[in-house]
Structure 1
Amino acid sequence: MANRSRCIATLAIFLICYATSSTSVAGQSRIAGGKKAAANSAPFIVSLQKSEKGKNIHYCGGTILNANWVVTAAHCLSSKTLAYSTVLVAGSILVDGSTSTVQKRNIDYYVVHELFVGGIAPYDIGLVYTKLAFKWTSAVGPAVLPKADSTPSGTASLYGWGSTSTTAADKFPSSLQVVSSIPIITLSECENELGSHGSNLHDTNVCTGDSNSGISICKSDSGGPLIQGKTLVGIISWGKTPCGQKNSPSVYVRVSAFNSWIIKHQIAPKKMLMHF
């Protein structure tokens, strides 16, 4: 087997990112059960892309917080070499960025939560900084942090460029996918449906799921947003595979548990860049 990243978890459970090249349970993919998103409908989302065989390949998602900062999953940043060669692609629903509204940026600094231990674990949150600020347009703009320590409920919208396949064979759309009304479920419901993997849940997680829907996150959706209006309530973390199966909830970082951590780590660039 080739070298595919540190995102591999356990059989039938996957982290939703695609980091280096090869084949594994943690392969590249998109939202299962979604539909094509409208242009400019998610100005806050970015595609984290790496160079492979002369092409930029999407491997994780992220969400713009302000002109210089993007939040993503910690496991998307497991490799320093990969992180500092990543291109942030904003302003286009097309994964290849082939629109006049696209803005591309480099990662100049990143930080992951100090309590994240890798695998399907809590604290799966990281921040990336770009010195060249994003410019606000109808296609590029920030999301809003939720109220600190709040618990989201109701429904939310889920965006990503991951696999649309509900089988072991990945299928990759060229355009951003969306599920506009996915139910948020309680952690106890989520734990019950995950079975033996429910023990990996933490009170800083949030889950979505519909036992009959066949809708879920999928590999390479990692780091992307679960959002209510413009409020970022979740960061895509992990779930079962094959994607989109019944009674298979999707697991996210609950952003409201990390408001103070996010604010603390958005420090002055000159001081921050001393940590290179």
Structure 2
Amino acid sequence: MAFGRSVLIIPVLFCQCILGLAEPETLVCGRVVGGVSAATDAAPYIVSLQAGSVHYCAGSILNANWVVTAAHCLTSKSQVLSSTLVAGSNDVTGTASTTQKRAITSYVVHSLYTGGIAPYDIGLVYTATAFQWTSAVKPVTLPSSGVVPTGSADLYGWGSTSTTTVPSYPTMLQVAKNIPIISESACVSALGTKGADVHSTNICTGPLSGGIGICTSDSGGPLVQTSNGETILIGIVSWGKIPCGQPNSPSVYVQISDFISWISSNQ
């Protein structure tokens, strides 16, 4: 399911990111379950997509004018073009003195994305007013094309932290550190019938013991690794199960390394 919050959003089995239409029991677009409040400026590349001052998805800054997010966050043209990108603030309300807010000028959705919990769940958002680089607002680094991530990674988001069907949204940015990347086969097996929706261009994280993972309104947000002092965006939150954080409920992301050429050609 894609995860989104009540505005219109989309895939939650997971995703229904039409501000907040999540399907029952099923899957969601996410918030970080099992995380803790992130340190100030810990993720200066993350942005909150907000409609009417309500957070519904996240994204990552690629450069001064472009943000990458999940395609399912961009299914409503009217919602997207009336939304605001909020950067530079761990507080989702954007009250920090370092906050930068930008209007969305246009956007691009991958042509192979068919909606819901489907592969190619990636999109780009353009703002004509460039972000200004500060300690609180910086671009993330993209991985090399074709590299398959292994080991562990860090997940950031403002999604629901609830492990029940009733969402609970944090005000402060959350982070779950060192969560394990699991194999495609383990991901497919754990998801049961929904495992058929996992594609070779996805990446999954555990732990399969539960307690940590994406949830509603984490959609579009970053899964990152740090290498040689650089923060590398390896995944975009796509979909997962609800209730969030249950055993055998891996989180599913778009694997960014499979879309480097697409990103380059669509900016």
Q: Which residue of 2 aligns with 1:69?
A: 66
Q: Which residue of 2 aligns with 1:142?
A: 139
Distance 2:165 2:115 in 1: 24
Contact persistence 1:29–1:171 (CA under 8 A): no
Deviation at 1:171, TM superposition (A): 0.8
1:198 maps to 2:212? no
Distance 2:220 2:111 in 1: 17
Distance 2:133 2:144 in 1: 24
Query: For the structure 1 residues 28 and 265, does the alpha-carbon distance in structure 2 shift closer, same or farther, using more than 3 Å as the test?
Result: closer
Q: 2:121 aligns with which of 103, 121, 124?
A: 124
Deviation at 1:19, TM superposition (A): 2.4
Distance 2:152 2:20 in 1: 35
Q: Which residue of 2 aligns with 1:19?
A: 18
Distance 1:222 1:142 in 2: 19
Deviation at 1:22, TM superposition (A): 6.0
Distance 1:178 1:221 in 2: 11
Q: Which residue of 2 aligns with 1:5?
A: 8
Distance 1:29 1:191 in 2: 19
Contact persistence 1:47–1:89 (CA under 8 A): yes
Taking structure 1 as the reference length, what is the TM-score of the superposition?
Answer: 0.89
Q: How does 1:70-219 map to 2 (within 5 A)?
A: 70-219=67-216
Contact persistence 2:32–2:161 (CA under 8 A): yes
Contact persistence 2:10–2:29 (CA under 8 A): no
Query: For the structure 1 residues 119 and 88, does the alpha-carbon distance in structure 2 shift closer, same or farther, using more than 3 Å as the test?
Result: same
Q: SS at the partner of 2:14? A: strand
Q: Output the amino acid matched with 1:180.
A: K
Q: SS at the partner of 1:146? A: coil
Q: Which residue of 1 aligns with 2:234?
A: 233
Contact persistence 2:64–2:130 (CA under 8 A): yes
Distance 1:99 1:221 in 2: 21
Q: SS at the partner of 1:207? A: strand
Q: How does 1:27-66 map to 2 (within 5 A)?
A: 30-51=31-52, 56-66=53-63
Deviation at 1:57, TM superposition (A): 0.2
Deviation at 1:93, TM superposition (A): 0.3
Query: For the structure 1 residues 28 and 116, does the alpha-carbon distance in structure 2 shift closer, same or farther, using more than 3 Å as the test?
Result: closer
Distance 2:41 2:183 in 1: 31
Tell me the alpha carbon deviations over residues 211-246 of structure 1, each in whole angstroms, 9 at most, x when there is no partner: 224101001100000000210000000001100001
Q: SS at the partner of 2:34? A: coil
Deviation at 1:28, TM superposition (A): 8.2
Query: For the structure 1 residues 199 and 82, does the alpha-carbon distance in structure 2 shift closer, same or farther, using more than 3 Å as the test?
Result: same
Distance 1:137 1:70 in 2: 16
Q: SS at the partner of 1:76? A: helix
Taking structure 2 as the reference length, what is the TM-score of the superposition?
Answer: 0.92
Q: Once structures 1 and 2 are overlaid, which stretch shifts more, 120-129 or 24-33?
A: 24-33
Distance 1:134 1:21 in 2: 28
Distance 1:151 1:190 in 2: 15
Ranges in structure 1 where 5+ consecutive residues have no aligned partner: 267-276
Query: For the structure 1 residues 21 and 231, does the alpha-carbon distance in structure 2 shift closer, same or farther, using more than 3 Å as the test?
Result: closer
Distance 1:225 1:239 in 2: 15
Distance 1:166 1:248 in 2: 12
Deviation at 1:162, TM superposition (A): 0.3
Q: Output the amino acid matched with 1:5.
A: L
Q: How many residues align?
A: 256
Percent identity of paired positions between Structure 1 and Structure 2 = 56
Query: For the structure 1 residues 183 and 70, does the alpha-carbon distance in structure 2 shift closer, same or farther, using more than 3 Å as the test?
Result: same
Contact persistence 2:191–2:249 (CA under 8 A): yes
Deviation at 1:14, TM superposition (A): 1.0
Query: For the structure 1 residues 28 and 246, does the alpha-carbon distance in structure 2 shift closer, same or farther, using more than 3 Å as the test?
Result: closer
